[in-house]
Structure 1
Amino acid sequence: MNIDSVSAPGWTAALAAQIRSWGIRDFTGIQTQAIEAGVADGRSMIACAPTSSGKTLVGEIAILAGLERGHRCLYLVSHRALADQKYADFVARLGSEVSIGLSTGDRDEGEAAARLTIATYEKALALLLSGQLDVTASVIVADELQIIGEPGRGPNIETLCTILKRQGMAQIVGLTATVGNAGELAEWLGCALVGCQDRDVDLIQQVWSGGTAYEVRFGQEDALDCLEGEHIPQDPVEVARKLIALGRGPVLIFTESRNEAMELAARFAIGRQQTVRGIELAEQIALFSEPTEASEQLQDLARREVAFHSADLTAQERQVLEQGFATSAFCACFATSTLAAGVNFPFRSVVFAKLTYAYGEREGTMLTRADYRNMSGRAGRLGLHPDGYAVLLPRTQIERSHAATIVRPENDNVVSRLVGLSMRRSVLALIAHGVVNTRPALVDFFRLSLLWHQIRERNPHKLDDVVAKAATATDWLIRAGFVDDDFDVLLATPVGRAVAQSGLLPLTAVGFLDMMCAHAADIDADFERYLTGLLHWVCTCAEFGSERPSRYLPWPSKGYVDSVGFLQAFPLLAAVDRNDRRANQGAHALALFAAGAPEREIRRKTNLPSGQLHRLAADIAWVLDGLRRIASVPELGYPQTLTNKLQMLARQIQWGIPVEALDILRVAQRENVPGFGRQRAVALLRQGIETFDQLLTAAKDKVQQAVGGEKRMSALLHAVASCIGFRQDKFREAHRQLAERLGVEALVERCNDALGTDYEDAVIALLTREPSWSIRQIDDGRQQNAPDLLLTLGVHALLIECKTTTKKPPLLAKEAAFAILQKALGYDKAMHRVTLGKPRFDEHSRKKAQAAEEVTLIEHEVFIEGVLRVLAGKVTPRQLVEWLIAPGLTELDRLGGPASYQILANDKSSS
Structure 2
Amino acid sequence: MKVDDTFGLAKEAAAVRPAGGDVTIPPGIDIDRNLVDIISKGVAYHNAELSEAERLFVEQKLADGAIDIVFATSTLAAGVNFPLGGAVFAGWKRWNFERRLHEAIPRAEFQNMAGRVGRMGQQGEQGHVLLSASSAEDLHTAKKLMDAADQEALGSGITPEQFGPLVLQILAGKLCNNRGQVFEFLASTLSASREINRNLSGVDHWRPHVDQQIDRLIAQGCVIEAVESITVTALGEAVARSGLKPETAIYFINGLAQKSPALAKLLPDPTDRSLNENDMAFVLAHASLASPEFTNAGGPATRRIPWRVPAPNLVTNPYAQRLDKILLFQPWMGNHGAANGALLLAEWAAGANRQAIEELVGGVRMGSVEAMARDVAWVLTGVAEIIFTVTAPALADEARPVALVDPTTRSSVRRLARTIRRQAARINAGLPGDILWATSLDLLERPRRLPRNHILSLRSAGLIRPIDIMNGLPDVDSKRRSALDAIKNPALANRVRDAAKRWKIEDRNYAKSIHQRRAAAIGGSEVINALYASRNHAFETAFEALLGYLAIPFQHLDGRGKIGHPDFLVTIEKFPSLVVELKSKQADHDMVNFNDATDVLRASEIIGMREHPCVTLCNPGVEPSVPGLVERCGRLCVVEVSDLAEAAMRLQEGTLSRAEFYNWLTTPGIALREDLPHGR
User: Equivalent residue for 2:522?
Assistant: 742
Give the Cα separation in 2 of the matches to 1:756 and 1:260: 66
Asked whether 1:540 is paired with 2:329, we answer no
Structure 2 residue aligned with 1:603: 358
Residue 468 of structure 1, aligned match among 201, 208, 211 = 208
Q: 1:699 Cα deviation (Å)?
A: 4.7
DSSP-derived class of the 1:550 partner? coil
Q: Give the TM-score normalised by the residue count of structure 2.
A: 0.81
Separation of aligned partners in 2, 1:555 and 1:615:
12
* Separation in structure 2 between the aligned mates of residue 648 and residue 829 of structure 1, nearest angstrom: 29
How many equivalent residue pairs? 634
Pair 733,456 (structure 1): closer, same or farther in 2 beyond 3 Å: farther
In 1, the alpha carbon distance for the partners of 2:417 and 2:335 equals 29
Amino acid at match of 1:592: E
Contact 1:778 1:790 in 2 (8 A): no
Q: Give the stretch that moved more between structures: 456-465 or 783-792.
A: 783-792
Residue 864 of structure 1: how far off its partner (Å): 2.5
Amino acid at match of 1:554: P
Structure 1, 765-774 or 526-535: larger mean CA deviation: 526-535
Identify the match of residue 381 of structure 2 among 625, 629, 636: 625
- Give the Cα–Cα distance (whole angstroms) in 1 for the partners of residues 578 and 649 of structure 2: 21
- Match for residue 402 of structure 1 among 115, 128, 141: 141
Letter of the structure 2 residue corresponding to residue 402 of structure 1? T
Distance (whole Å) between structure 2 residues aligned to residue 670 and residue 592 of structure 1 = 31
Unaligned runs of 5+ in 1: 1-254, 903-911
Aligned to 2:42: 305
AA at the equivalent of 1:323: Q
**3-state SS in 1 of match to 2:580:** strand
Query: After the TM superposition, which residues 748-897 of structure 1 pair with which residues of structure 2 at under 5 Å, given as runs?
Result: 748=528, 751=531, 761-774=541-554, 791-792=570-571, 796-803=577-584, 813-814=593-594, 817-818=597-598, 820=600, 828-829=608-609, 833-837=614-618, 841-872=622-653, 877=658, 880-881=661-662, 883-890=664-671
Q: Which has the higher strand share?
A: 1
Q: Deviations over 1:35-83 (max 9, x none)?
A: xxxxxxxxxxxxxxxxxxxxxxxxxxxxxxxxxxxxxxxxxxxxxxxxx
Change (3 A) 1:587 1:796: closer
1-structure distance, mates of 2:461, 2:132: 54
Q: Quick one: distance in 1 between partners of 2:85 and 2:607?
A: 75
Cα deviation, 1:872-909, whole Å, max 9, x if unaligned, reads 4565657645653443323679876x62xx3xxxxxxx
Partner of 2:407: none
Going from structure 1 to structure 2, the CA distance change for 1:286 and 1:879 (only over 3 Å counts) comes to closer
1:826-885 deviation digits (Å, cap 9, x = unpaired): 655457542223565454111011112443212334322332343345656576456534
Aligned to 1:664: 438
CA RMSD of the aligned region, Å?
3.9
Q: Which amino acid aligns with 1:541?
A: S
What is the aligned counterpart of 2:233 among 493, 496, 501?
A: 493
- CA deviation digits over 1:457-495, x for unaligned, max 9? 553634222222111211222232211123422111111
User: 3-state DSSP class of the match of 2:262?
Assistant: helix
| Structure 1 residue 617, shift from structure 2 partner | 0.6
1:550 to partner: Cα distance: 0.8
Going from structure 1 to structure 2, the CA distance change for 1:669 and 1:893 (only over 3 Å counts) comes to: closer
SS state at 1:605 partner: coil
Deviation of 1:792 (Å): 4.8
Distance 1:378 1:728, change over 3 A: farther
Q: Quick one: structure 1 residues 393 and 563, their matched pair in 2 at CA, closer, same or farther if it must change by over 3 Å? A: farther
Counterpart residue type for residue 13 of structure 2: F
Q: Aligned AA for 2:301?
A: P
Q: 1:411 to 1:359 in 2, by over 3 A?
A: closer
Task: State the shift of 1:401 in Å.
Answer: 4.0
Q: 1:501: how far off?
A: 1.4
**3-state secondary structure, aligned to 2:177:** coil
Counterpart contact for 1:772–1:877, Cα < 8 Å: no
Q: Structure 2: how far apart are the matches of 1:386 and 1:686?
A: 48
- Distance in 1 between residues matched to 2:243 and 2:467, nearest whole Å: 39
Q: Give the superposition deviation at 1:587.
A: 2.3
8 Å CA contact retained: 2:481, 2:493: no
In structure 1, the residue corresponding to 2:441 is in which secondary structure?
helix
Q: Deviations over 1:547-580 (max 9, x none)?
A: 4111111111754652567634422322247574
* SS across alignment from 2:152: coil
In structure 2, the partner of 1:616 is 372
Counterpart-to-counterpart distance in 2, 1:675 and 1:456: 50
> Which one-letter code corresponds to 1:890 in the other structure?
A
- Alpha-carbon spacing, 1:584–1:798, altered in 2? closer, same or farther (3 Å): closer
Change (3 A) 1:812 1:612: farther
Q: Is the CA contact (8 Å cut-off) linking 1:349 and 1:379 kept in structure 2? A: yes
Query: Which of 258, 262, 265 in structure 2 is aligned with 1:518?
Result: 258
Aligned to 1:349: 86
2:591–2:621 CA contact under 8 A, matched in 1: yes
1:591 — aligned with what? 346
How high is the TM-score relative to the length of structure 1?
Answer: 0.62
Kindly indicate whether the alpha-carbon contact (under 8 Å) linking 2:314 and 2:333 is maintained by their aligned counterparts in 1: no
How far is 1:789 from its partner? 5.3
Q: Is the 8 A contact 2:622 2:640 kept in 1?
A: yes
Rounded Cα–Cα distance in structure 1 between residues aligned with 2:520 and 2:541: 20
Residues 313 and 336, structure 2, Cα contact 8 Å, conserved in 1: no
How do 1:326-341 and structure 2 match up within 5 A? 326-341=63-78
Shift of 1:403: 2.2
Query: How far apart in 2 are the matches of 1:363 and 1:840?
Result: 60
Output the amino acid matched with 1:556: R
Q: Which residue type is aligned with residue 306 of structure 2?
A: P
Task: Please report how far the alpha carbon of residue 373 of structure 1 lies from its aligned counterpart in structure 2 after TM superposition.
Answer: 1.2
Q: Hey, what does 1:150 align to over in structure 2?
A: none
Matching residue of 1:113: none
- Equivalent residue letter for 1:368: P
Distance 1:595 1:776 in 2: 44
Sequence identity (%)? 24
Aligned to 2:401: none
* Unpaired segments ≥5 residues, structure 2: 268-276, 396-403, 405-409
Does the CA-based 8 Å contact 1:790-1:800 persist in structure 2?
A: no
Aligned pair partner of 1:650 in 418, 424, 429 = 424
1:370 and 2:144 aligned: no
Q: Deviations over 1:578-625 (max 9, x none)?
A: 574433322222222222222322222213211111111100011011
- Alignment counterpart, residue 267 of structure 1, candidates 12, 15, 26: 12
Deviations 1:208-260 (A, max 9, x none): xxxxxxxxxxxxxxxxxxxxxxxxxxxxxxxxxxxxxxxxxxxxxxx431x43
Quick one: structure 1 residues 862 and 265, their matched pair in 2 at CA, closer, same or farther if it must change by over 3 Å?
A: same
Residue identity opposite 2:11 in structure 1 = A
Match for residue 121 of structure 2 among 371, 377, 383: 383
Query: How much does 1:728 deviate?
Result: 5.4
CA distance change for structure 1 residues 288 and 335 in 2, over 3 Å: closer, same or farther?
farther
> What pairs up with 1:188-203 in 2 under 5 angstroms?
none
SS at match of 2:91: coil
Matched residues in 1 for 2:588 and 2:528: separation? Answer: 22
Pair 1:374–1:713, CA change in 2 (3 A): same
Alpha-carbon contact 1:731-1:861 (below 8 Å) kept: yes
Residues 718 and 471 of structure 1, relative CA distance in 2, 3 Å threshold: same
Query: 1:534 is matched by which residue type in structure 2?
Result: L
Maintained 8 Å contact 1:326/1:345: yes
- Conservation of the 8 A alpha-carbon contact between 1:379 and 1:390: yes
Paired residues of 1:346 and 1:381 also in contact (CA < 8 A): yes
C-alpha displacement of 1:717: 5.0
1:549 partner letter: A
Question: Deviations for 1:400-427, whole angstroms, at most 9, x for unmatched residues?
Answer: 4432220013211111242244433222
Of the structure 1 ranges 684-693 and 435-444, higher mean CA displacement relative to structure 2 is found in 684-693
Q: Which residue number corresponds to residue 437 of structure 1?
A: 177
Residues 64-103 of structure 1 aligned to structure 2 (within 5 Å) = none
